[in-house]
Copies of this chain bind each other. A is one copy, B any other.
Amino acid sequence: MLNGEKKIARPFRWAMVGGGRTAGVGYKHRTGALRDNTAFQLVAGAFDIDPVRGEDFGVNVGVDESRCYPDYKTMFTEEVKREDGIEAVSIATPNGTHYEITKAALEAGLHVVCEKPLFFTVAEAQEIKELAEEKGKIVGVTYGFSGNQMMLQMRAMVEQGKIGDIRIVELQYTHGFNATDKADAISEAQKWRVDPKIAGPSFVLGDLSTHTYYMSQLIMPNMKISKLLCDRQSIVGSRAPLEDNAFVLMHYENGAVGRLWTSSVDAGCMDGHRIRIVGSKASLEWWDSKPNELRYEVQGEPAQTLIRAMPYLDESCLADERLGALHQEGLSDAWANIYLKFAVAMDAKNRGDEETLKNLVYPDINAGLEGIRWIENCVRSADAGAAWVEFE
């Protein structure tokens, strides 16, 4: 049970690149990182592409005016000169800038937290992974939903054989907010997402499905895809070549099969983020719209609904408990969980505590890299006419 007491000697001095007033995701980072003030303290930022607005915003969230920077380069240059300079930075900018900012941050000696999808290519991710290792730094990826502790419950149940051998994996992350192209033209947050130069080789595959794909890996760490097929569409034609809808079929090395559907044109859908893992004995199902519940269905027995915070849950799940039974946790709690783990990982890395790092389940650089690999394989299949491709 987490109650805000410190897990590390002192909070990291932390900054943000992007995530200012006009970016919805910025608040998720801050509310995650600053949850208890014992993991991170926000001391600097290059919050906005508009430096004046960025400074105004920074001051409003408590950053000293002198440490509100016009851009990330200046911030890294200036902060490195300070004795109390930043130690970690979160990157909440459009996809196309992740690679260069992460690289610069590592070279400036900073731990990094970056938005998903991490970069455009696996090659970039491998390069950054090596750089991070060389620099002794952590790169975390904000698969925010994955901080929901029911993921750890599912992971534990899978590992304990509670569902038997995994046979079928059913993943979905769909919504309908882009059923029309209206926002493509007017929303800053949406405009770049359908521009391949900034968004990269995919829209919803990267924007939505990498979350769900990572969660599936977290739950079933031993399941490896052997081949897949991706059929992607630009249902709203102006989005071509980027997809706003995609179906993926998967074959796993153990013989299991799977599906994923991701879409932002699933009109009216408000509960389309779901995971179902079917085993030989039972299934597990979780819906993001009911984040405090887990459905455990043993064939031939009454279906069970497991509820967050209850003592019958696995200790790995209960370890991330904050509010207690009957009290609903939500996405802000999930973000707080992963940011706390980022801090613990950074601290362990600084101390050379490899044992802690090995046992910590959180979205690290490998999770980011695997997300890119997922997109690359999907795009390769889709571009080959929705053909089966070996998963590379």
Contacts and interface: CB of A to CB of B under 8 A. Distances in A.
Interface string A44-72: 00000000000001001110000000000
User: In this complex, which of A164, A180, A279, A328 has the most chain B Cβ atoms within 10 angstroms of its Cβ?
Assistant: A328
A234 to B, nearest CB: 10
Interface string A1-40: 0111110000100000000010010111011001111100
Given A267-B281, A302-B307, A304-B303, A61 B38 contact: yes
Given A31-B35, A278-B267, A305-B303, A289 B249 contact: no
Copies in the assembly, this chain? 4
Interface residues on A, range: 35 or more
Nearest to A257: B233
Contacts of A175: 326
Contact of A31 (B26, B289, B322): B322
Contacts of A30: 4, 36
Nearest to A294: B302
B281 A297 contact: no
17 contacts: A4-B31, A5-B61, A27-B322, A31-B322, A34-B36, A167-B245, A168-B265, A231-B257, A245-B257, A249-B386, A267-B278, A270-B303, A292-B330, A302-B306, A302-B312, A329-B332, A385-B388
Interface of A: 2-6, 11, 21, 24, 26-28, 30-31, 34-38, 42, 57, 60-62, 163-164, 167-168, 170, 175-177, 179-180, 229, 231, 233, 235, 245, 247, 249, 257, 259, 261, 263, 265-270, 273, 278-283, 288-292, 296-307, 310-312, 322-333, 385-386, 388
